[in-house]
């Protein structure tokens, strides 16, 4: 019998209507089989760890990611897989963060949630939960078939650090714009094995030291020196530069000078595109050639969520700046294509 740990952090999936006032309130996930009787047919050994109090995902932060990573690490040998129930708004951030924290992960960590509460008649919660559990339990040759942190939502399984939330109104809330889905659920669960990470041979390593001192500079036509310098002159250790197209920016000298000044102070600057699909190609156009010359890093096809969490992770390793820069342009957990 497969043994799965369900970790309930909060979110819409765990809400039911209070019959007294009609408001949405969290239900007791210890009694999950009473609320989702279909789980009895899976024949899994399910245990539940519920956050107390439960959290709106907008309140997620690195300390909570650390709590989650430690919980998985502590229970790693006791369970075949882990399912994290999480609010959808910051789910991609949490999935990305956990992928970096859990080095040499050899078991599934599947995040899921829902757009409607589990008590609603038309809810997507039950299907998401049941299939996430099936994925967490699936093995091949006695090894986990999906040994990575992933997100399951609306019949599709995504690599966690390749995912973005793109829709707040449809059940199809997530996409993976620059990487294939790992599996899809129809009449059968169909896994795309070529896109799934291999089971590592080394032991799981927990890494929880994150440095979240990051600034974000999103460009737009007409941006002023004052707006740019508010970020480049601030006391952050790294800056995410959200640029146009394949990594392009204004070539105004004041702008390039502001970036150079930040680099001279030892800040890491990484260039990612505002476009959801495609990759940064520094030097392809004149408007990014100067960035490449001055040593600004390419984020290639990183999502914003993966860029934020990877920067926090890499800077938390407390390496020399040049080593940190090299790691940012390498694929550590399948998060980028370069």
- Tens of pLDDT along 95-107? 999 999 999 999 9
pLDDT band at 111 (very low <50, low <70, confident <90, very high): very high
What phi and psi values does residue 136 have, to the nearest 5 degrees?
A: -65, -25
How far is Cα 234 from Cα 274, in angstroms, rounded to an integer? 22
Which two three-digit tokens encode residue 125? 């919660």
Residue of 147, 153, 128, 161 whose CA lies nearest to 39: 128
CB 81 within 8 A of CB 109: yes
What's the pLDDT tens digit per position in 267-307? 999 999 999 999 999 888 888 889 999 999 999 999 999 99
Q: Does the structure show a pLDDT above 90 at 87?
A: yes
Q: Is position 112 annotated as part of the catalytic site? A: no
What's the pLDDT tens digit per position in 147-192? 999 999 999 999 999 999 999 989 999 999 999 999 999 999 999 9
How far is Cα 184 from Cα 72, in angstroms, rounded to an integer? 25
The helix (H) or strand (E) run that includes residue 241 is: strand 238-243
What phi and psi values does residue 115 have, to the nearest 5 degrees?
A: -90, -25
CB 104 within 8 A of CB 203: yes
> Which residues on neighbouring strands pair with residue 114, listed in sequence order?
none
Distances (CA, A) of 42 to 39, 91, 125: 5, 25, 16
Using DSSP's 3-state secondary structure scheme, residue 224 falls into: coil
How far is Cα 218 from Cα 292, in angstroms, rounded to an integer? 18
Q: Does the structure show a pLDDT above 90 at 13?
A: no
What phi and psi values does residue 73 have, to the nearest 5 degrees?
A: -60, -45
- Give the residue carrying structure tokens 């407390």: 318
pLDDT at 285: 84
304, with CB counted inside 10 A (0-12, 13-18, 19+), is buried
Give me the mean pLDDT over the 81-107 stretch.
97
pLDDT at 284: 86
Q: Which of 12, 94, 123, 232 is catalytic?
A: 12
Taking all residues of the chain, what is their mean pLDDT, rounded to a whole number? 94
Would you say the pTM of this structure is higher than 0.85? yes
Those residues with Cβ within 8 angstroms of residue 27's Cβ, 6 or more apart along the chain or in another chain: 14, 15, 16, 35, 118, 119
Give me the mean pLDDT over the 308-313 stretch.
98
What's the pLDDT tens digit per position in 254-266? 999 999 999 999 9
Measured over the CA atoms of residue 137, residue 139, residue 142 and residue 143, the dihedral's sign is negative
């Amino acid at each position: 019998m497969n043994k799965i740990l369900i970790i309930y952090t909060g979110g819409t999936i765990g809400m039911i209507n209070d019959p007294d006032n009609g408001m949405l309130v969290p239900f007791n996930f210890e009694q999950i089989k009473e609320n989702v009787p279909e789980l009895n047919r899976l024949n899994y050994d399910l245990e539940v760890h519920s956050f107390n109090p439960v959290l709106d995902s907008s309140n997620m932060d690195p300390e909570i990611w650390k709590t989650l990573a430690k919980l998985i690490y502590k229970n790693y040998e006791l369970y075949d897989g882990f399912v994290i129930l999480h609010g959808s708004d910051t789910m991609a951030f949490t999935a990305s963060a956990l992928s970096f924290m859990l080095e040499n992960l050899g078991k599934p960590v599947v995040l899921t949630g829902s757009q409607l509460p589990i008590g609603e008649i038309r809810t997507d919660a039950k299907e998401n939960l049941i299939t996430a559990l099936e994925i967490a339990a699936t093995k091949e040759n006695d090894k986990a078939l999906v040994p990575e942190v992933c997100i399951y939502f609306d019949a599709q399984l995504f690599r966690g650090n390749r995912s973005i939330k793109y829709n707040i109104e449809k059940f199809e809330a997530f996409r993976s714009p620059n990487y294939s889905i790992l599996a899809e659920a129809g009449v059968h669960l169909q896994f795309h094995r070529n896109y799934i990470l291999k089971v590592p041979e080394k032991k799981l390593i927990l890494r929880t030291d994150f440095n979240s001192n990051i600034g974000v500079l999103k460009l737009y036509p007409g941006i002023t020196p004052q707006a740019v310098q508010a970020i480049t002159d601030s006391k952050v250790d790294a800056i995410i530069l959200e640029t146009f197209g394949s990594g392009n920016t204004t070539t105004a000298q004041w702008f390039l000078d502001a970036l150079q000044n930040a680099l001279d102070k030892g800040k890491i600057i990484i260039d990612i595109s505002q476009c959801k699909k495609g990759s940064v190609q520094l030097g392809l156009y004149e408007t990014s050639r100067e960035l490449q010359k001055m040593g600004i890093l390419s984020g290639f096809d990183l999502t914003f969520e993966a860029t934020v969490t990877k920067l926090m992770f890499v800077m938390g390793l407390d390496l020399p700046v040049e080593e940190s820069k090299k790691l940012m342009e390498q694929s550590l957990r399948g998060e980028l294509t370069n």
